[in-house]
Structure 1
Amino acid sequence: MLSYILNLLPLTPFTPSPSTISTIQTPSPLIHAASTAQPALSPVSNIQGHAYNRFIQIWLENTDYSLAAGDPSIAWLSTHGITLTNYWAVTHPSQPNYLASVSGDHFGLSSDGYIAVPSNIATVADLLDTKGISWGEYQEDMPYAGFKYISYENPQNGKDDYVRKHNPLIMLESVTQNDTRLSLIKSFTSFASDLAAETLPQWAFITPNMTNDGHDSSITTAALWARRFLKPLLSNAYFMKDTLVLLTFDENEHYESPNQVFSLLLGGAVPEASKGSEDDTFYTHYSALSSLQANFGLPSLGRWDCGANIFALVADKVGYANWAVDTTGLDFSHSYPGPMSPIESQQAWPVPNTNAKCAAGYGVLGKVVTAWGKSDGSLNYTNPYPYDDGSGTDAGGSVSSPRNAPASPPSAPYPHPTSHTRSLSM
């Protein structure tokens, strides 16, 4: 009996119409050969940040806020961190949320099918590389570093333990076409060895398998996994030192409900006095990017990360005042038209805002400006939440003056977000 099934990538670039994915069965010697040809790399760095020196994201799956908040394992974890009570996913289904978290936009994606984002679309990896900040991913049950295929099936139970749609950086050709970068997309085996060797990167994205993340199981299973995974780490001096962990969910379960998800900040970067507290500031998945940029002094991608609110833990350190957002009329349950939408295709890729200083105050990545030229952007990327006037997607809601600030954020003396669909009280 064959021990696993690999689903091959298409060889053609992404088009809005669905691609045909072929399936092959591969003998284990080929897996072994591939794993030795693509070794895992674990570069280290020690770049100092304002609020943390290491940022780790752990994503669970498809759970409504109230259900997650009511789980006893989540409740236990909450006593060790800051609960973000106003944190939102950006669309449905899973894959566009993962993509958005590293590229600052989902580009209209509204499916979990195979995608390959062109290499001229900048990512968080490009931002980190500007300062030599080490980064990597840890994907549970990925058979070897840089695995590009659609899924990996567990030989014991036949389940698709690893799936590509939950691996954000593997969706990007700027990663898959670079062997060094591919070597940083690793398995949980590498996490264990990197932890033991004290070679964890300063930015990491962790995805449990399809059972442990709750996708094919339940919130009880996912939350218990998270507690068991994090509990020893919360007492590990090396791991905890200046580390900020974001535990979140990709999306809620019920598409008819507003797409708010339970999220929690943990780690040694969380002040002792803040543990067990709540933060009701409006955040989205894009806030992880804007917070990273503010923390390390990095440029923006010029997309929805540009205007996204910054985690208060970081904002307080850099003197940034977050926007107050009235979420009435917002649900973030649909993708607006874009080049990756199989339904409402808009062939042109949206132009980033390359003129803004953005929330972090460091402008836009130089390679983005070079690639796209000077522009205010196709969309209002300086707004603290994503919307599209043309399709009416999340065009409701309103934004008011930065919280606790009568004028512009002190660290960011540039224009406020503006939109003719919402009133701004300055």
Structure 2
Amino acid sequence: MENTDYDKAEADPSLAWLAERGITLENYFGVTHPSEPNYVASHGGDNFGMDNDAFNRVAGNVSTITDLLEDKHISWGSYQEDMPYTGFEGFSWANQETRANDYNESYSISNRVFSILLGGAVPKHLEGSKDDKYYNHYSELSTVEANWNLHTLGRWDVGANVFDLVACETGDIYRPNLAATAENATIFYNSSFAGPFNEDFQAAPYPPPNLDIKSPKTHRTVLPAIKKQWKGHTEGTYYHDGVDIPDGQHPPHGYAVNDVSKD
């Protein structure tokens, strides 16, 4: 529920009904604001500085989770709500009654998203349970990589915590991020630093993946095709295998601070 404050979403009776049938993630975070860069992050391992919901196209030499799945010949599908037809590639499809989509903007609180794990993979004894471990959108990537023993993208997917449901089976370790989850959090993950899609702050080139990092303990490596694509072009990479990631107000070394609190 990215466009609804956590407490409000948690109190919704329909979502409470779903929570009884799955695992509620109590510390699941978005990685920036607004919506589209979070979608990009959950597929590509970074939001690439995106700070908008514009009609953006990611360069062809930037790999995604699709490349990792197809490398292992694993079939996949994309399920999107309220699209007018299969394969719709238009700029947007607004709510046909209100002519607008939900939007919520706040830079003074953490970007914690009410999230529930649902489906046949959730065992009966965990239905209605809660998981208070720290996760973010990159955990979606790392969990898929762990579950099917895939390679990685060499970006923020490498160090992201794997959902405990899967990590218990794959041996992936958990690391906390108290800067995000503590009562007095110091990082909110609601802004982007410079990148190729940044419109309101600063533009910057695509950051190259880190071809040498491996997932902690389980040692999943970067996809060979990515290594071949980016060989000799890795200067300026800022990715590491840690669980703590930067945001606009806490950017990587050498990047300017995007202080959205002053906007």
Pairing of 1:372-411 with structure 2 (within 5 A): 372-373=230-231, 375=234, 378-387=237-246, 388-389=251-252, 390-392=255-257
CA–CA separation in structure 1 for the residues paired with 2:145 and 2:200: 33
CA–CA separation in structure 1 for the residues paired with 2:23 and 2:98: 38
SS of the residue 2:117 aligns to: strand
SS of the residue 1:294 aligns to: helix
How many pairs does the alignment contain?
Answer: 246
Tell me which of the two structures has the higher relative contact order, counting C-alpha pairs closer than 8 angstroms and 6 or more residues apart: 2
Using the size of structure 2 for normalisation, the TM-score is 0.86
Equivalent residue for 1:289, pick from 129, 133, 141: 141
Q: Which structure 1 residue ranges, 5 or more long, are not aligned?
A: 1-59, 161-209, 217-251, 395-426
CA–CA separation in structure 2 for the residues paired with 1:254 and 1:343: 17
CA–CA separation in structure 1 for the residues paired with 2:19 and 2:236: 39
CA–CA separation in structure 1 for the residues paired with 2:127 and 2:230: 43
Instruction: State yes or no: 1:127 paired with 2:37.
Output: no
CA–CA separation in structure 2 for the residues paired with 1:384 and 1:65: 22
SS of the residue 1:280 aligns to: strand
Using the size of structure 1 for normalisation, the TM-score is 0.54
- RMSD (Å) for aligned C-alpha atoms: 2.2
Change in CA separation of 1:158 and 1:314 when aligned onto 2, cut-off 3 Å: closer
SS of the residue 1:324 aligns to: coil
Equivalent residue for 1:272, pick from 121, 124, 127: 124
SS of the residue 2:130 aligns to: strand
CA–CA separation in structure 1 for the residues paired with 2:80 and 2:119: 20
Structure of larger gyration radius: 1
CA–CA separation in structure 2 for the residues paired with 1:306 and 1:138: 25
Aligned residue number for residue 349 of structure 1: 206
Cα contact 1:353–1:376 (8 A) shared by 2: no
Question: Given residue 126 of structure 1, which amino acid in structure 2 is its aligned partner?
Answer: D
Instruction: State yes or no: 1:333 paired with 2:183.
Output: no
What is the CA distance between 1:268 and its match in structure 2? 1.7
SS of the residue 1:309 aligns to: coil
Question: Given residue 118 of structure 1, which amino acid in structure 2 is its aligned partner?
Answer: A
Q: How big is each residue's C-alpha offset from its partner over 1:162-214, in whole Å with a ceiling of 9 and x where there is no partner? A: xxxxxxxxxxxxxxxxxxxxxxxxxxxxxxxxxxxxxxxxxxxxxxxx4xxxx
Instruction: State yes or no: 1:311 paired with 2:151.
Output: no
Change in CA separation of 1:392 and 1:116 when aligned onto 2, cut-off 3 Å: same
Change in CA separation of 1:153 and 1:314 when aligned onto 2, cut-off 3 Å: closer
Cα contact 2:49–2:194 (8 A) shared by 1: yes
Q: How big is each residue's C-alpha offset from its partner over 1:11-34, in whole Å with a ceiling of 9 and x where there is no partner? A: xxxxxxxxxxxxxxxxxxxxxxxx
Cα contact 2:2–2:113 (8 A) shared by 1: no
CA–CA separation in structure 1 for the residues paired with 2:47 and 2:21: 32
Change in CA separation of 1:153 and 1:353 when aligned onto 2, cut-off 3 Å: closer
Instruction: State yes or no: 1:299 paired with 2:156.
Output: no
What is the CA distance between 1:355 and its match in structure 2? 0.5
Pairing of 1:52-67 with structure 2 (within 5 A): 60-67=1-8
Larger strand proportion of the pair: 1
Change in CA separation of 1:376 and 1:74 when aligned onto 2, cut-off 3 Å: farther
Aligned residue number for residue 89 of structure 2: 148
Q: How big is each residue's C-alpha offset from its partner over 1:127-155, in whole Å with a ceiling of 9 and x where there is no partner? A: 1101111112233343333222112467x
SS of the residue 1:293 aligns to: helix
Equivalent residue for 2:226, pick from 330, 349, 368: 368
- Identity, in percent, stands at 44
Q: How big is each residue's C-alpha offset from its partner over 1:256-288, in whole Å with a ceiling of 9 and x where there is no partner? A: 211111111112211211111111110001000
SS of the residue 2:36 aligns to: helix
SS of the residue 1:282 aligns to: strand
Cα contact 2:159–2:240 (8 A) shared by 1: yes
SS of the residue 1:83 aligns to: strand
Pairing of 1:11-410 with structure 2 (within 5 A): 60-152=1-93, 157=97, 159=99, 210=101, 215=102, 253-326=105-178, 327=180, 328-359=185-216, 361-373=219-231, 375=234, 378-387=237-246, 388-389=251-252, 390-392=255-257
